[in-house]
C-alpha cells in the first residue's frame, strides 16, 4: 500500500501532480481534515474544488478523513478546544514569554487519523504502508522529525527528486492548476504576524473566531488558576497584538504555520 499524506498546500499538491503524471508511484492521497470549522476555508475549497476533480480525471483518489471518537461520532479540533471539560490545550499556544506550548493537534488529528485508515486497510508491522510526505529540499530540516509508526514507512519523494518549493509551484502551474494557498488551521499560533494582519483586514470573520477562541481558552485557564496564553508571540490578547491594518499586510508570509506536507509542521 502506498499513499500520500495530502495537506492541501503547495508541496503535497505537487505530489498529486507528479502522481497524476506517473513520475511517482502513488494512487491514493489521504487528506486528514481537522474540521470544516478549523481548516482554513481556502484550503478546503482548493481540495474539494480543484484537487479532487483533478485527481479523479487522472484516475487517482483523494480520501478525506475525519477524527472518529470511540462512540462513533466525529470530533473537530475546534470542538476539542471548546469542550468545557478540556484541561489541556492541543494547539501550541504561546506562553507569556512568547514560547509555544506543547501540542498534540498534529498527532491526534493528522497522524493518528491517517494511521487508523492505514490499519483499517491492511497496513501492519509485517506489511507496512508507504506514506509519501511533501517536504521539499528547502525544508529538508523538517524531514525525520518523528519516528515512523510500526505500520508505515515514510518516504519524501520531493527530496528524492531534489525539488524545492518554487519547483513545486512550477509543476502545479504547468499542469494547469492554480497554486494553492498555504495550508494551516486559521487560528494556528504558528501563523506569522503578517498572516494575522492579513486575516484581520481581509478575513474579519475568521479573525473574530480566533479572538473568541483565545478568550474561551483563557476563561477556562482562569477558572483553573492558570496563567493566560495567547495566539501570537507578543504575550497580549490578539486584538492588542494585531491592532489593525498596516502597510505590510499586502505581503503575507505564512510559512511558519504551513501544513503543506499533511503532517502539519512535523
146 or 82: which carries more pLDDT confidence? 82
Other CB atoms within a 10 A radius of the CB of residue 121 amount to 12
pLDDT digit string (tens) for 219-262?
999 999 999 999 999 999 999 999 875 544 444 444 455 555 55
Residue 105 pLDDT greater than 90, yes or no: yes
Locate the domains of the chain by residue range: 2-257
pLDDT digit string (tens) for 36-57?
999 999 999 999 999 999 999 9
pLDDT, residue 247, reads 46
Backbone angles phi, psi at 28, to 5 degrees: -125, 135
The H or E element containing residue 63 is strand 61-65
Ranking 130-134, 138-142, 174-178, 237-241 by mean pLDDT, the lowest is: 138-142
Q: How far is CA 241 from CA 78, 95, 127, 238, in A?
A: 22, 14, 50, 5
Query: CATH assignment of 2-257?
Result: 3.40.50.620
Residue 87 pLDDT greater than 90, yes or no: no
Burial (Cβ within 10 Å: 0-12, 13-18, ≥19) of residue 200 = buried
Q: How far is CA 210 from CA 94, 117, 120, 238, 245, in A?
A: 14, 30, 35, 8, 16
pLDDT digit string (tens) for 174-224?
999 999 998 899 999 999 999 999 999 999 999 999 999 999 999 999 999
Closest CA to 263 of 1, 2, 51, 8: 8
Ranking 124-128, 139-143, 161-165 by mean pLDDT, the lowest is: 139-143
N- to C-terminal Cα distance for the chain?
Answer: 22
Amino acid at each position: 500500500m502506498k499513499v500520500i499524506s495530502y495537506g492541501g498546500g503547495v508541496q503535497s499538491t505537487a505530489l498529486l501532480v507528479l502522481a497524476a503524471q506517473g513520475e511517482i508511484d502513488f494512487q491514493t492521497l489521504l487528506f486528514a481534515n481537522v474540521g470544516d470549522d478549523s481548516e482554513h476555508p481556502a484550503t478546503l475549497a482548493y481540495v474539494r474544488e480543484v484537487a479532487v476533480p483533478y485527481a479523479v480525471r487522472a484516475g487517482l483518489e483523494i480520501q478525506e478523513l475525519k477524527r472518529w471518537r470511540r462512540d462513533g461520532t466525529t470530533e473537530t479540533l475546534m470542538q476539542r478546544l471548546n469542550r468545557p471539560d478540556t484541561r489541556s490545550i492541543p494547539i501550541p499556544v504561546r506562553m507569556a514569554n512568547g514560547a509555544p506550548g506543547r501540542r498534540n493537534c498534529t498527532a491526534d488529528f493528522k497522524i493518528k487519523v491517517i494511521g487508523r485508515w492505514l490499519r483499517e486497510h491492511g497496513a501492519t508491522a509485517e506489511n507496512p504502508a508507504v506514506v509519501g510526505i511533501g517536504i521539499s529540499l528547502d525544508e529538508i530540516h523538517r524531514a525525520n522529525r518523528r519516528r515512523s509508526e510500526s505500520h508505515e514507512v515514510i518516504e519524501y519523494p520531493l527530496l528524492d527528486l531534489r525539488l524545492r518549493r518554487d519547483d513545486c509551484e512550477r509543476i502545479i502551474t504547468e499542469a494547469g492548476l492554480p497554486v494553492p494557498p498555504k495550508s494551516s488551521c486559521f487560528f494556528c499560533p504558528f501563523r506569522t504576524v503578517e498572516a494575522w494582519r492579513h486575516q484581520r483586514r481581509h478575513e474579519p470573520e475568521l479573525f473574530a473566531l480566533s479572538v473568541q477562541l483565545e478568550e474561551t481558552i483563557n476563561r477556562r485557564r482562569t477558572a483553573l488558576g492558570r496563567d493566560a496564553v495567547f495566539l501570537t508571540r507578543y504575550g497580549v490578547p490578539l486584538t492588542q497584538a494585531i491592532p489593525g491594518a498596516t502597510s505590510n499586510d499586502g505581503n503575507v508570509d505564512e510559512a511558519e504555520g504551513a501544513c503543506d506536507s499533511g503532517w502539519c509542521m512535523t
